[in-house]
Structures are given as C-alpha cells and as structure tokens.
C-alpha cells in the first residue's frame, strides 16, 4: 500500500545517497510504515475557499497591519488582475505561471522594470502570507528574484525655482502650501489631513499622521510660520482644516486639489513636473548635502527603512569631491 510513497522518497534521495544508504533507508521505511496507511492529501483538500475569499482575507490582514486605503486598493487590483489573467485557483498557481504573467504584462503594457518589480513584491507578500497561514505549502514567488532596473537621477527644485513659485502664487493659501511642503518634507497626504489646532507656531512644528498610522513631528521655518499665519488670518470660515478650498463651502482641500494647483503654477512659470512629492525629495537631498546624518533625515521623512531615504536623496557630486579631498586624499 505504501510502496509508491516509499519509491518516491527513494527517488528524491538518489542524488545524495549511495546504494548502500538507499538500501538501508528502504528497509527503515518498510519497517516503520508496516501496517501504517498513508493517504495522499492535496493542499486544496483542506479548504474550499475561492480566489476572491483568499484575496479578501489577505486584504483584511493588511488592513489590520495598518496599510492605508490607497495601498489596499492597489494590492487588491494587482492580485485580482493576476488571478483573472492566469485563470487558475490560487493553490495551483506555479512559479512558471507567474513568470509568464510578469513577462507578458511587461511586454503588453510597455511599463518600466521597477513597475514590474512592484507587482512582484505585492505577489510575493500575498503568497508568503498564504504560506504562513498554511493555505499553501510553498510560495511560488520564492524563486522569482528582484527585478533589476536602471536607477534614474530624479530632479529636485533649485532655489530659483522655489522663489519663482512663491513670487507667482495667486493666493496666500498656495504660498503657505509651498512653504509647508518645502520646509517640512511632509507627504501631501499628511498635509491635507492637518488641522489648525495641530500647528504649534511657538515651536514651529506640528505632528503629522504618516504611513501605517504612525505619528511623527515635522518642523517648519520662520518664513513658513509668517505665510501660514497670514493665510489663516485671511480666512473667514469655521472649518478646522488647515487648508481649505478657495470657494464656499470651504471644504478641506484634497490631495488632487493640491496637485492641480501646483501643476497650474508650473505651467504658468514654465517649470516641468511641479509635483508635491518633489518638495520632499528636494528637502532630503539638501539635508544630506549639508551634512545632516542620514538617520535623522530618515526620522524627518518618516521612513521605516533607511534604504528608502537613500533613494530620495541625491548627494551633490561637487560635495563628494570635496569630501574625498578632506577625508581620503
């Protein structure tokens, strides 16, 4: 009854055991498994969940871990697209299926390698969770390694660009927004969730709620303090939000509202790619360039991993040259 199982075990051990060892192993197995009935059980026999149910369980787990709604939507869309395309039950998806999916996705959508690697990381997180929860025996993404991509040097705002933005703002609100983004390095999502009561003008700081619902203090300069006060004094509404729309009923400003205003300003002064996140990268680059320890920049930006901070910052090459002469030459 157990002979097929014993044969499979011996076949698996052929590369590492000699004939004498195989014979000994066969004898031990036959002795120990005598009168023992072994029934093969496939992984999917232990449950009857659908792909949708598995995905919902994973999303729920990530929600408990503190992932933002935007991240959860991205996870859900990525996993659903994969399962719909592959067309198999999750427990039957193989490494080859996923490799083909990623390759086809890259070719059909003509997207960057970094985009494909983002998809790989999400799928890896999903299947690793299934493995940890004992829904599958082994993640099929284990053998799909990180996809290498060329790193492009991203632009930052120069001092002239920032001054040009300030000079061409149409409102006190937009001027205060530019100063807050430029001096704190906060995310635009953190900016729009701030309330007036969150601002400590005396110490020129405020506490923002970052990714993973983690709070951290950020700091702004004297110019930002003045422009922010001027903006708040010009308002005649009762909304507790720090930044509101220009027209009634003066609702809290949304991320899209900030992005639209900055793009419009960029077109006006002929600066390409004016975006909230670029202020954040500019702050990180300048902080490191002026000698701020990378660990402190990491805390300032609210990054959980220092590698993320390094990706944001571009150290000025001239300063690298000067440091080489100072410390090495």
**In the chain, how long is the greatest CA-to-CA distance?**
91
Task: Tell me the range of 1-5, 21-25, 26-30, 200-204 where mean pLDDT is highest.
Answer: 200-204
Distance of CA 5 to the CA centre of its chain: 45
Q: Please, what are the domains in the chain?
A: 3-40 (no CATH), 50-132 (1.10.150), 159-316 (1.10.443.10)
pLDDT tens-place string over residues 103-146? 999 999 988 888 999 999 999 999 999 999 988 888 999 999 98
CA–CA separation, 299 and 217 (whole Å): 9
pLDDT at 167: 95
* 236 contact partners, CB below 8 Å, separation of at least 6: none
**pTM of the prediction?**
0.68
Percent of the chain with pLDDT over 70: 91
pLDDT tens-place string over residues 7-43? 888 888 887 888 888 889 888 888 888 877 776 655 5
Residue-by-residue DSSP string for 249-313:
T-PBPPHHHHHHHHHHHHHHHT-S---HHHHHHHHHHHHHHTT--HHHHHHHHT-SSHHHHHHH-
pLDDT at 150: 64
CB-based burial, 159-179: b 16+ in 10 Å, e otherwise: eebbebbeeebeebbbbbbbb
* 307 contact partners, CB below 8 Å, separation of at least 6: none
Strand partners, 140: none
pLDDT at 40: 61
């Amino acid at each position: 009854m157990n002979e097929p199982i014993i044969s499979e075990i011996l076949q698996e051990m052929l590369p590492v055991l000699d004939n004498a060892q195989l014979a000994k192993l066969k004898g031990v197995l036959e002795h120990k498994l005598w009168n023992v009935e072994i029934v093969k059980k496939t992984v999917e026999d232990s449950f009857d969940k659908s792909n949708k149910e598995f995905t919902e369980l994973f999303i729920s787990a990530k929600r408990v871990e503190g992932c933002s709604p935007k991240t959860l939507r991205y996870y859900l869309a990525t996993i659903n697209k994969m399962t719909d395309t592959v067309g198999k039950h999750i427990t039957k998806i193989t490494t080859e299926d996923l490799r083909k999916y990623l390759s086809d996705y890259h070719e059909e959508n003509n997207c960057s390698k970094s985009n494909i690697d983002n998809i790989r990381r999400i799928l890896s997180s999903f299947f690793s969770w299934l493995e940890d929860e004992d829904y599958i025996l082994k993640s099929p993404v284990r053998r799909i390694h990180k996809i290498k991509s060329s790193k492009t040097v991203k632009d930052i705002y120069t001092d002239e660009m920032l001054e040009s933005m300030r000079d061409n703002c149409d409102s006190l609100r937009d001027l205060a927004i530019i100063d807050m983004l430029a001096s704190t390095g906060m995310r635009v999502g953190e900016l729009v969730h701030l309330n007036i009561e969150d601002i400590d003008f005396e110490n020129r700081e405020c506490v923002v709620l970052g990714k993973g619902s983690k709070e951290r203090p950020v700091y702004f300069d004297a110019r930002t303090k003045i422009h922010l006060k001027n903006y708040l004094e010009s308002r005649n509404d009762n909304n507790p939000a720090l930044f509101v729309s220009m027209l009634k009923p003066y609702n809290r400003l949304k991320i899209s509202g900030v992005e639209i205003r900055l793009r419009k300003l960029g077109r006006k002064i002929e600066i390409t790619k004016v975006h909230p996140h670029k202020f954040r990268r500019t702050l990180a680059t300048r902080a490191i360039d002026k000698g701020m320890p990378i660990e402190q920049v990491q805390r300032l930006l609210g990054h959980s991993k220092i590698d993320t901070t390094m990706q944001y910052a571009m150290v000025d090459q001239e300063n690298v040259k000067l440091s080489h002469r100072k410390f090495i030459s």
